[in-house]
Amino acid sequence: MRWIWFDRFEEFESGKRAVAVKNVTLAEDHLHDHFPGYPLMPASLMIEGMAQTAGILVGEAKQFSEKVILAKVRKASFDEIVRPGDQVRYEAEIEQLTESAAATTGRVWLGDRQIGAVDIVFSHIDQNMSGLDFPEENFVFTEEFMALLRTYRHNGEARVTL
């Protein structure tokens, strides 16, 4: 299984806002355990989906020069269950962005209904953990995540050049 919790960017405004969609399918093994006979998309994995959407938005804002790590989930609330066949939309906005960190607000949509909210604080770890050594390479934004950003197309043209 690959640790990618959305399928495609639908909108991407550099440094501001991104929308990603996730199609929930019974082909995902975890749904058969959560729960047997009653498959529900786990809220924890929707938080991860938002974190990946917002994390790439924050990373792109500084041209992926920083290692962006989830520092804190400020808030996560869900009002409805999500089932196989549903398409969830993660809408993330950058609220604050500094040299060392970023704060994002996020809304989770099912069709035209907002069904959740996930607000996150990210840390640029190289700026916050002085004294600790991290690998030189950017292990956060791997090729797998870069490929996700390239999935965004606007009017048939790539909007994000990497």
Partner 1 sequence: MSTMPRSEIMAKVRDILVDVLSVDEDEVTDDAILTTDLGAESIDFLDILFRLEKEFGIKIPQEQLFNRDIVSNAEYLNDRKLNAAGVAALKKAMPYANLTDFEKNPDIDKLADVFTVAAIVNFVEGKVNNG
The residues that touch partner 1, with contacts defined as CB under 8 A, are 71-72, 74, 95-96, 100-101, 103, 121, 123, 128, 130-131
- Closest by CA to 23, choosing from 95, 92, 88, is 88
Q: Amino acid letter at 120? A: I
Choose the catalytic residue: 30, 32, 34, 154. 34
Least gap, CB of 153 to partner 1 (angstroms): 33
CB 10 within 8 A of CB 21: yes
30 is catalytic: no
Task: Indicate the residue among 101 and 108 with the shorter CB distance to partner 1.
Answer: 101
User: Maximum CA pair distance of the chain?
Assistant: 50
Least gap, CB of 94 to partner 1 (angstroms): 11
| Sequence-ordered strand ranges (E) for 98-151 | 101-110, 113-124
Q: Residues with catalytic annotation?
A: 34
